[in-house]
Every structure is written in structure tokens, then in C-alpha cells.
Amino acid sequence: MIEILAVLFVVTTSMLSVVSLINQNIQVQSINRNNLIASNLAQEGIELIRQTRDSNWRKSLAYDTGLADGAYKIDYRTDAPVLTSSDPDSVIYLKNGFYVNRFGSETGLTATIFSREIYLNKPASYVGAPLQVRALVSWLDRGKPYHYELRALLFDWK
């Protein structure tokens, strides 16, 4: 009888360990998936600001036209970033499988756990100072806050 109880104890302990490892693996997969999505959303934000700079050059405007200091939101459907002070909804939505921002009273969007803000700053310390761009993606996963931040410098090098 004691031998059976000892075997049951060993088997139960082993099974609990396996279940704990499976649970931890699922949590790590979720965190890694969300980190990958957040890094791509941050990179997209930087690239969209870079696209605005390049569009300004093609239009023979100053490279930083429409890129004043402040917090912005932007997605691939817009020509220029929108100040979050005028439209504070920085949540990222899904529309037809694409990550987008909501502008105005747009419908047909499904909210995600992610929000993104792009911060622009041009130091006045010297002439030709680069435009500092910071993309910050934030989200909650199982009640715990996470964020991913990406920084870039954009120069007027045309």
C-alpha cells in the first residue's frame, strides 16, 4: 500500500510539473507574440514619419513641414500624422486584417490590446538638428502593462 502511495505521489508531482511547464510556455508564447507585433507597429510608425519627410521633399517643402514637436498618431491610410491632442484615441484597431488608427467616427473596426503614439522633438540647440522620433507601443497582457519603444533620428539630407 505504501509503495502505491509513493508511486502516486511521484506521478502526481511529475504531472503537476508538466502542467506548470505547459502553462508557462503558453504565457511566454503570448508575450513573445505581442512583443513581435509591438516591434512591427513601432517600426511602422517610424517609417510613416519618414514617409512624411520624404513626401515633403518631393513637394519641395521643408523636410519637417507638418512635423512639429508633439505626440501624434498615424497609419498607412493618412498623408500626415495627426496630433493626439486633437484626436486622443491612440488605440490600434484591426480593419480587414490590417492594423489602423481610428480617425473621427470611423466604423467597422475591432479594437486590439495595442496603442501607439509617435513623439516628435526637434531640438533648437543648433541649426540642422535632426528630428527626434520616438514610437511607443503599449499594451496590457493578463493585467500586466508592457511597452515597446523605438527611436530614430531624421535628418534634412536632401
Q: How far apart are CA 39 and CA 141, in angstroms?
A: 15
H or E element that contains 10: helix 2-58
pLDDT of residue 115: 95
Question: Would you tell me how many other CB atoms lie within 10 Å of the CB of residue 69?
Answer: 13
Residue with cell 520616438: 134
Predicted confidence (pLDDT) at residue 133 exceeds the cutoff of 90 = yes
pLDDT of residue 51: 94
Q: Mean pLDDT, to the nearest integer, of 146-158?
A: 90
pLDDT of residue 23: 86
pLDDT of residue 126: 72
- pLDDT mean across residues, the chain: 90
Between the two ends of the chain, the Cα-to-Cα distance in Å is 85
Tens of pLDDT, residues 15-71: 888 888 888 888 889 899 999 999 999 999 999 999 999 999 999 998 888 899 999
- Are 158 and 63 in contact by the 8 Å Cβ rule? The answer is yes
Q: Mean pLDDT, to the nearest integer, of 105-119?
A: 92
pTM above 0.95, yes or no: no
Predicted confidence (pLDDT) at residue 75 exceeds the cutoff of 80 = yes
